[in-house]
Structure 1
């Protein structure tokens, strides 16, 4: 019976050791789950910050692009205005030249008429 008592005592000791090991493993598992949850939360936060940064960059780029487009429109407007003024000024000059040519032609015709008249008289 003493042998059985010793076996029972040994078994109880092993059971206590196993319970202690199980408790330690459960603690480690809880710590691992907490770390996993924390890493997942950090990952989600990192992704959210990345999306915010991308949005800020996109907004910054679009505002730069919008400013570039406005400047381009201003330059195009200025060029169109200058070209229109040049054409208007050019047409005045062309009109003046055409008028001068007509005056020259009229003067030539008058001179021819006077010459014919003096020949006929």
Structure 2
């Protein structure tokens, strides 16, 4: 598997309420990064750019997803700023719509964010 390319899994910060119910549109993987070597049975060493210097370059297989190399893909790391524990913070751009939904015993406000 050396020389293959993989995606790196990232996740939203724990404890931060997402702007979507389950964050289905938020990025789950970034990359693609080349595998330099196999360190253990389920551990690989990746070639990460300097921009991701806070991330350790030896990662478990569970943090990776196979990437089929395609020259037409243009990927940018500028969109996601990662923390030390591979988390990122979602921030809204604009509030598109808001409404108050009346349930049996309470009212629930909801907003549509961009």
Note whether the superposition's TM-score is higher than 0.5.
no
TM-score by length of 1: 0.13
Higher helix proportion, which one?
A: 1
The structure whose Rg is larger is: 1
TM-score by length of 2: 0.13
Higher strand proportion, which one?
A: 2
